[in-house]
């Protein structure tokens, strides 16, 4: 009971209950409640979180009415001593335990340097995305009389004020200089691809404490970028960084979604396999998980095997972007003494060859890993 009262004083508990993502995911799970044990487990856990304040209040009223509240000050040191003894009496492993490679621990100086670079990269993405959102608005809406769009001027001033202007690639500087309302559709689409990395940077720097799973998150929101343009210090002054365990979990989840959706797209013929082994692997994964309500991954409220073509291709691309970006960030964090990449760039001066797939995507068809995808 004491641990429940402790939970009420934790910021993470109230943050979890007030996040819109928590309730959005609850709505998706409610639609799957009757056929998916994972949905029932999620909703059961959420119900327990909601009932904790009620239980604590009822218990506190009982303590006050019964007079047992006067015993509590004597019980607290006893509980503390019991917990301490339990920690000291943990079993000692005599046989050697398998060692997992430990992630590199950054010194405070290295972490500050990395956070500063990541904050600048995030601000650059925010400016470009905010401009892309502004260009879309101009193209799709009819502006009222005497209304002037000043995105270009605002963004250039912000980049100069924060010292980022000279760290941009020439192609990106040229794009920012273009007059408002003159970005063409291919340029807007190319910049919009930064939506997922930008969302990840906010999470890495703990601006956002919750990262939705790939299959349960809404598409990009330009409002997140505009928020940073209005208050760039949210990223630039952040010196918090996600723990290595959290980064590993997010990377593993993105990898699972990519492998599962990639297999489904090969099996359905949305993409041609490179060889016969790849086709067999994709067919095996898709057939094994098809219709399995408790095991297959979900996109929204549907199983991957039930999703339509657009949903499969969108989730494949999004999970690949997340997996590639987090793999890159992990490699940078594991080499803290190496110079961090500059200049900041999203655009190529000329259309180049098709991007080379990330190592994980190449291994997908070459090595065909046998690990379960679930």
In this structure, the answer to whether residues 228 and 275 fall within a common structural domain is no
Final residue in a domain of this structure, among 182, 206, 236: 236
Are residues 272 and 227 part of one domain?
no
pLDDT of residue 374: 32
pLDDT for position 277: 93
Distance in Å from the first CA to the final CA of the chain: 35
Do 282 and 204 lie in a common domain? Answer: no
Q: Where are the alpha helices (DSSP H) in 185-304?
A: 185-192, 195-204, 222-230, 233-236, 244-268, 276-289
The answer to whether position 88 is within a domain reads no
75 and 137 both lie in a single domain: no
Q: Tell me what pLDDT residue 5 has.
A: 63
Asked whether residue 182 falls in the same domain as residue 264, the answer is: no
Angle between helices 151-161 and 170-177 (to 10 degrees): 140
Specify if 99 maps to a domain. Answer: no
**In-domain check, residue 326:** yes
CA dist., res. 240 & res. 274, Å (int) = 43
pLDDT, position 20:
79
pLDDT tens by residue, 59-72: 778 777 776 555 55
The residue from 41, 67, 82 where one domain ends is: 82
Same domain, residue pair 216 and 149: yes
pLDDT in tens, 110-166: 999 999 999 999 999 999 999 999 999 988 886 666 656 778 999 999 999 999 999
Q: Which of 200, 213, 176 is nearest to 118 (CA)?
A: 200
| Cα angle value 356/306/210 (rounded, 5°) | 65
Residue 127 lies in a domain: yes
User: Quick one: 140 and 197 in the same domain?
Assistant: yes
How much is the pTM? 0.77
DSSP 215: G
Domain count, the chain: 3
Radius of gyration of the chain (CA): 25
The pLDDT, as a whole number, for residue 373 is 38
Domain assignment of residue 87, yes or no = no
Cis (ω within 30 of 0) for the bond into 139? no
For residue 228, tell me if it sits in a domain: yes
The boundaries of the domain holding residue 342 are: 244-347+358-366
Token pair for 3: 């641990």
168 strand-pairing partners: 344
270 and 302 co-located in one domain:
yes
Task: Answer yes or no: do 308 and 228 share one domain.
Answer: no
For residue 303, list its beta bridge partners.
298
* 169 and 249 inside one domain: no
* Residue 94 maps to a domain: no
**3-state secondary structure at position 344:** strand
Domain end among 182, 205, 236: 236
**Do both 158 and 222 map to the same domain?**
yes
The DSSP code for 67 is: T
User: To which H or E segment does residue 299 belong?
Assistant: strand 298-299
Ranges of the chain with pLDDT below 50? 92-95, 350-374
- The answer as to whether 339 is a domain residue is yes
Residues 230 and 114 in one domain: yes
């Amino acid at each position: 009971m004491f641990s429940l009262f402790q939970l009420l004083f934790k910021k993470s508990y109230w943050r979890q209950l007030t996040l819109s993502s928590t309730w959005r995911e609850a709505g998706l799970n409610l639609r799957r409640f009757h056929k998916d044990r994972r949905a029932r487990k999620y909703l059961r856990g959420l119900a327990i979180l909601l009932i904790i304040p009620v239980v604590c209040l009822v218990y506190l009223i009982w303590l006050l009415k019964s007079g047992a509240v006067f015993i509590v000050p004597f019980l607290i040191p006893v509980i503390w001593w019991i917990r301490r003894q339990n920690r000291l009496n943990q079993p000692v492993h005599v046989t050697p335990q398998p060692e997992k490679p430990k992630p590199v621990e950054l010194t405070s100086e290295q972490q500050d340097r990395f956070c500063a670079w990541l904050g600048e990269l995030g601000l650059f993405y925010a400016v470009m995305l905010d401009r892309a959102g502004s260009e879309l608005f101009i193209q799709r809406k009819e502006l009222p009389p005497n209304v002037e769009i000043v995105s270009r001027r605002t963004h250039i001033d912000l980049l100069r004020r924060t010292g980022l202007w000279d760290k941009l690639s020439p192609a990106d500087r040229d794009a920012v200089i273009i007059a408002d309302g003159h970005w063409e559709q291919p340029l807007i689409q190319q910049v919009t691809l930064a939506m997922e990395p930008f969302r990840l940077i906010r999470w890495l720097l703990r601006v956002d404490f919750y990262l939705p799973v790939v299959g349960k998150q809404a598409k990009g929101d330009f409002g997140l970028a505009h928020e940073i343009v209005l208050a760039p210090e949210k990223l630039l002054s952040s010196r918090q960084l996600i723990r290595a365990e959290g980064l590993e979990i997010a990377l593993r989840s993105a990898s699972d979604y990519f492998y599962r959706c990639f297999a489904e797209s090969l099996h359905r013929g949305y993409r041609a396999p490179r060889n016969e082994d790849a086709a067999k692997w994709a067919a095996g994964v898709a057939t094994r998980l098809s219709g399995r309500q408790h095991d297959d991954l979900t996109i929204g409220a549907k199983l991957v095997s039930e999703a339509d073509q657009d949903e499969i291709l969108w989730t494949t691309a999004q999970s690949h972007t997340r997996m590639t970006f987090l793999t890159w960030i992990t490699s940078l964090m594991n080499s803290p003494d190496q110079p961090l990449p500059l200049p900041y760039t999203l655009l190529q001066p000329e259309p180049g060859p098709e991007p080379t797939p990330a190592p994980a995507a190449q291994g997908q068809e070459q090595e065909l890993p046998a690990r379960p995808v679930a």
